[in-house]
Amino acid sequence: MKKDSFSFTILLIISLTCSVSCHSNMESPSPFLRNFSLVETVRRMNFADFGSMSAGLSGGSSAGAPTSRRNESDYLFTIVESKIENFDERDFLLKLKQQVSNEVSNAGLRVTGGGGGGDTFHIEYESTQFKGGIDIIGIRAEKDKYRVWCVVRELAFGETQKL
């Protein structure tokens, strides 16, 4: 019994050591990535054409330098009945791109590029510690539904490494 207890203790110590060392190698995400929420961004836009919404969200990161992160979100917005016929997808995406760009800048990051057309756009950003990009696609899913997919990917280089 003592041998099993000793083996368990050794295994626990090794597991905790690995867990702590892996965690210490991971850089925190940028203020933008840490706080970004596509649905909250749309809410801040006060876009009157949308009513309810449903969401899906996923994310991930890897240990080691540089630390990479990827967050994906998928929202299905219901278009308010009185706005169905006049909903302007292009106008919505242009306003969303401007709002996301503002949020990147407000987080202390520099917008370094971007583009888009039709139903998609992307924004690239960086600082001395982070380099990332946002890809957003919007599409009319049904007469009264509009789906928005968003992928944010980011590399964290740490305090000492410059881009």
The full set of domains in the chain, from first to last, is 27-156 (3.30.2000)
Instruction: Tell me which residue has tokens 């401007």.
Output: 98
pLDDT of the residue at 115: 93
Residue 38 parent element (H or E): helix 38-44
3-state SS class at 16: helix
pLDDT of the residue at 119: 93
pLDDT of the residue at 156: 84
55 touches 78 (CB < 8 A)? no
Distance in angstroms (rounded) separating the CA atoms of residues 38 and 53? 12
pLDDT of the residue at 23: 43
79 touches 87 (CB < 8 A)? yes
pLDDT of the residue at 79: 92
pLDDT of the residue at 148: 94
pLDDT of the residue at 150: 93
pLDDT of the residue at 52: 76
pLDDT of the residue at 100: 96
- 77: phi > 0 → left, psi -120 to 50 → alpha, else beta; which? beta
Distance in angstroms (rounded) separating the CA atoms of residues 41 and 64? 31
Residue 143 parent element (H or E): none
- pLDDT digit string (tens) for the chain, length 163 residues: 455 555 555 554 555 444 444 443 456 788 898 899 898 898 888 888 888 777 665 555 454 556 688 888 889 999 999 999 999 999 999 999 999 999 999 999 999 999 998 899 999 999 999 999 999 999 999 999 999 999 999 988 764 344 3
pLDDT per position as a tens digit, 14-55: 554 444 444 434 567 888 988 998 988 988 888 888 887 776
Residue 17 sits at φ, ψ, to 5 deg, of -60, -45
